[in-house]
Amino acid sequence: MKKVVTTCLSLILAASVLAGCGQSATTDPGKQGDAGSAAGGKKRFAIIFKNTGNPYGEKQMEGFKTAIEETGGEAILKAPDQPTAEAQIQMIEELISQKVDAIAVVANDPDALQPALKKAMDAGIKVLSLDSAVNTKSRMVHINQADPERIGRVQIQAISEMIGGKGEIAVLSATSQATNQNLWIDWMKKELEDPKYKDIKLVKVAYGDDLRDKSVSETEALLKSYPDLKGIIAPTTVGIAAAGKVLTDKGLKGKVMLTGLGLPSEMAEYIESGVSPWMYLWNPVDVGYLAGYAADALVKGTITGKTGDKFKAGKLGDKEVIADGDGTQVMLGDPFKFDQSNIGEWKKVY
């Protein structure tokens, strides 16, 4: 309990966007039960992140809230304590009874949320995913941070360069069910099929569940089980920061290289020290912001989520819905490379 309270407090202090742990940011409880847009005439837009305690998630929710307020709506920010589908399903059910106008979810599982999200859509609620997708039947559109193929391949190219094209590597991921990480890891494996990586061996994919302590212990376990390990790829901001700390504490800088997807504010010290020579990410605030504008366009009926739909996304300008398999998505941009030359600047931004 103490830990949960601490997590809540640090979340509130860090982002000032959550009104309570796993709770809505709507401070007036009287508004919770109101039907749809009846609450003060404002439409209500909910976002559910994977779990609490992740500064990346706080940034994403912050961007969502900004967009919703710019469009005249009211944002409800939620995240369960644990990154499970069950906890998200419970939150979706609550939001359906509260008759919100839209639900944007960063999914802890591609398929498990389908019955709940289907129920939401049947009740007229606009549903979208962002960052980590639900399957195409469970959403109207997905907001994608960047091309998954590029995100996956670039991380293998990076670690290969860092370890001189030779040796054992491991992946430290988030949860085993996370749609986004699993997709990126699939692309990493495809990139590894290129004969130029014949001397690189992926020995293990470990799961830190986007929980700091578990990510630390999983990194330690990797180092113990694979004493010849040359590199770690952590395609999660929680995982890469935990790995950066472990490698630093154990004096493994230059011996085990680290790359992946990191939040500049959390990774600056490890980029500056050289524990992680470089890494990638996108602007998490913008991912949330774009989802906010897409949700607003769905609610206003400007878009239905079909290929070719166009809408204005505030400071991000004109955006278009494009195909994603048998579903659709909106793309934010390209992954960005952070290294010693630019980390000092970016660590102040997000």
Minimum gap (Å) between residue 34 Cβ and ligand RAM: 31
List the one residue out of 113, 169, 164 whose CA is nearest residue 142. 113
User: Which x/- pattern, by CB under 6 A, does the window 223-242 give for ligand RAM?
Assistant: -------------xxx----
Q: Are 275 and 258 in contact (CB under 8 A)?
A: yes
Site for ligand RAM in 32-91 (CB under 6 A): 50, 54, 56
Site for ligand RAM in 93-132 (CB under 6 A): 106, 131-132
Minimum gap (Å) between residue 261 Cβ and ligand RAM: 4
Minimum gap (Å) between residue 109 Cβ and ligand RAM: 13
Minimum gap (Å) between residue 106 Cβ and ligand RAM: 6
Can you name the residues that pair with 168 across neighbouring β-strands? 201, 229
**Residue located via tokens 């129920």:** 119
Distance CA 9, CA 304 (A): 38
List the one residue out of 305, 342, 339, 334 whose CA is nearest residue 144. 334
Which residue among 174, 232, 267, 299 contacts ligand RAM (CB under 6 A)? 174
Distance CA 142, CA 136 (A): 8
Q: Which is nearer to ligand RAM, 237 or 329 (CB)?
A: 237
Which residue among 180, 182, 215, 259 contacts ligand RAM (CB under 6 A)? 180
List the one residue out of 24, 44, 32, 69 whose CA is nearest residue 299. 44
Secondary structure of residue 140 in the 3-state scheme? coil
Which residue among 101, 210, 286, 296 contacts ligand RAM (CB under 6 A)? 210
Binding site for ligand RAM (CB under 6 A): 50, 54, 56, 106, 131-132, 174, 180, 210, 236-238, 261
